[in-house]
Structure 1
Amino acid sequence: MREVSVRGIYLRLVLTTFFWGGTFIAGRYLAQTVPHFIAASLRFLFALAGMLVFAWLSGRAIQWPRGRQWGVAGLLGLTGIFAYNAGFFAGLAHVQASRAALIVAASPVMTLCAVKLIQGSAWSLRALAGVALSFCGAVLVVSHGDPATLLHGALGIGEVFIFGAVVAWVAYTLAARYLAKGLDALSMTLSATLCGTVMLLIPAAFEAGNGGWPPIDWRAWLALAYMGLLGTSLSFVWYSQAVAMIGAARSTQFTNLVPVFGVLLSVLLLGEALPWASVAGGLMVVAGVLWVNRQPS
């Protein structure tokens, strides 16, 4: 299989963020119709099947982890699959898809902060200004345009769950960058997905045992297939390839396109309204990320 050019990596990252933007639409529907861990488990069962088909069609041999590599795969599964989806579906049960997508826009800045802390590199004034702008934008989104309400316990449980998902995704990105060595992107992504799916199936079994197997209509199956095949298997492989080629800090900056696609799709497909605070805050977050990335690398 031929190597992908840097331009090709950037194109794949844009398509990846488009697919991820669509997962907020599908996830919003699933979160209101299917128990959360059952939905997450089915999503990743689709994803596992998709990755295996992708490997077969591309002629790639799967390299399963050995020894300590299984620990890395387990950490990736715990953060990017189990923890992220637990927060993702729980949050979308309480907040609109467009609002959740805007909160996720904080992940690039959080990743940048973590990378600088790990590397011990100095902060420039431009970077500090960009981070501050993004932080203020995120506060505006979360507080519905009134930051003072955050001091009085007005932060909703849905926002807390979505923010937890963002933290989990940052941890996944860092682990993929600094710890996932020795395996190609497809093999490590497949191994991590397998570990995360096993973790999800445990609480899913309790959900099924307590409430019985839920009725799942064709829309839910379509949403699950979309999230599993496009929003997970294909996107995770492409994202992992990008992290390996251009680094975590640059790759994660593309996720600021996720809220753009998520909001547009939410308005077009779900008819969700956009408060001025969400629009302004989202623009501030994206502007802050772009400002940071104007630095020489």
Structure 2
Amino acid sequence: MAPLPGPRASAAAYPILTLTTLLWAGNAVAGKWAVGAVSPQVLTTLRWAFAFALLLVIARRQVAADRDRLAARWPYLLLMGAFGFTIFASLFYAAGTYTTAVNVALIQGAVPVFVMLLNFVVRRAPVRAGQVIGAGITLAGVAVAATHGDLALLRSLGFNLGDGLMLTACLVYAGYTVALTARPAVSGLAFFTALALAAFVTSLPPLAAEWALGRSIWPSTAAAWAIVAFVALGPSLLAQLSFIRGVELIGPNRAGLFVNLVPVFGAGLAVLLAGEPFAGSDALALGLVLGGILIAETAGRRAARSDERRTRQAKDGR
């Protein structure tokens, strides 16, 4: 799909990225329901196996049309699928084994910060003061959501192996986000089909390790298969396609900030699906995250308009 002009790109990206984070929040809920029904690496392999099989059906013409360009970039595609999908998921699941859900939610807020830093280091992309302020406010919202408003909990949090794994996972996904801007000039469906294949192939060694350790649990009930179907169609297929399009529309720095909606939506889904109460802290967290995104987005739009003006002036001066 072709890029849109500045204001239209933002208008299109906001609902796309909001849907992405809602599906990712649903993935966290599904992961909790999967405990004892489907083991982590079995779930990871099955989700990408089903997603790839479905993509082969709906995207076969796009893949056939773009196969030469995809083949020419196979090392990039393999690394993107491995790091962005398989390694991130494996680190995420492993982190949950060693640390608390509070720590996982808090550390996940580092993704937008890592995206900005990597984008600056790799591409020298400028970071505006408004974007830094907005990122800080969204991170505060994540802290409120993760601690349910009891920020005193932050003083008792220690740093352990799980926290280190989660920080590494955030850095891996930030690298994937920044690297999306270097994707080959192919259709979104063809590109994602290649990534899904890479994710499936690279998920097999961790699956073999899980099996060798005797920890594999394959789905055997309707509820377990429903979990697999959801994560394959929602978080794996629709959400990743949406995130790729969101980065394409407004860039990695601005799109990365939306990741902080995940713990907020996670709290909302807990209210709807698990009957947990909606507290004032949840409303405060939502307000902080949305406010931070608004501040950062305003700075991002101004920067984009400024860049467009400079580009037009340079062309006119030639």
TM range (shorter): 0.7 to 0.9
The 3 A distance-change label for structure 1 pair 160 and 269 is farther
Task: Give the superposition deviation at 1:206.
Answer: 2.8
1:189-228 CA-to-partner distances (Å, cap 9, x unmatched) read: 1112211211111121232244275252322211111111
> Which structure 2 residues correspond to residues 99-248 of structure 1 after superposition, within 5 A?
100-101=104-105, 103-134=107-138, 141=146, 145-149=152-156, 154-177=158-181, 179-211=182-214, 214-216=217-219, 217-248=221-252
Confirm or deny: 8 A CA contact 2:41 2:90 kept in the other structure. yes
The 3 A distance-change label for structure 1 pair 94 and 24 is farther
Letter in 1 for 2:134: G
Task: Give the superposition deviation at 1:8.
Answer: 4.3
The 3 A distance-change label for structure 1 pair 281 and 246 is closer
> Structure 1 length as normaliser, TM-score?
0.80
SS of alignment partner, residue 34 of structure 1? coil
Unmatched 5+ residue regions in structure 1? none
Letter in 2 for 1:89: Y
Unmatched 5+ residue regions in structure 2? 304-318
Task: Give the superposition deviation at 1:246.
Answer: 2.7
Letter in 1 for 2:176: Y
CA RMSD of aligned residues (A): 3.5
Task: Give the superposition deviation at 1:187.
Answer: 1.6
Confirm or deny that 1:66 pairs with 2:71: yes
Letter in 2 for 1:189: F
Q: Identify the range of structure 1 (243-252 vs 4-13) with the bigger mean alpha-carbon deviation.
A: 4-13
1:251-285 CA-to-partner distances (Å, cap 9, x unmatched) read: 22333332222221123323568999888677655
For residues 42 and 269 of structure 1, the distance between their equivalents in structure 2, rounded to whole angstroms, comes to 24
Confirm or deny that 1:21 pairs with 2:7: no
Confirm or deny: 8 A CA contact 1:79 1:172 kept in the other structure. yes
Confirm or deny that 1:290 pairs with 2:294: yes
- Identical pairs, percent: 26
State the match for 1:47 in structure 2: 51
The 3 A distance-change label for structure 1 pair 172 and 284 is same
The 3 A distance-change label for structure 1 pair 118 and 281 is farther
* Count of residues in Structure 1 that have an aligned counterpart in Structure 2: 290
Letter in 1 for 2:296: V
State the match for 2:258 in structure 1: 254
For residues 37 and 99 of structure 1, the distance between their equivalents in structure 2, rounded to whole angstroms, comes to 22
Confirm or deny: 8 A CA contact 1:50 1:233 kept in the other structure. no
For residues 102 and 157 of structure 1, the distance between their equivalents in structure 2, rounded to whole angstroms, comes to 15
SS of alignment partner, residue 82 of structure 1? helix
1:221-243 CA-to-partner distances (Å, cap 9, x unmatched) read: 11111111111112222221222
Confirm or deny: 8 A CA contact 1:111 1:174 kept in the other structure. yes
State the match for 1:88 in structure 2: 92
Task: Give the superposition deviation at 1:51.
Answer: 1.8
Confirm or deny: 8 A CA contact 1:105 1:255 kept in the other structure. yes
Task: Give the superposition deviation at 1:148.
Answer: 4.2
Bigger CA radius of gyration = 2
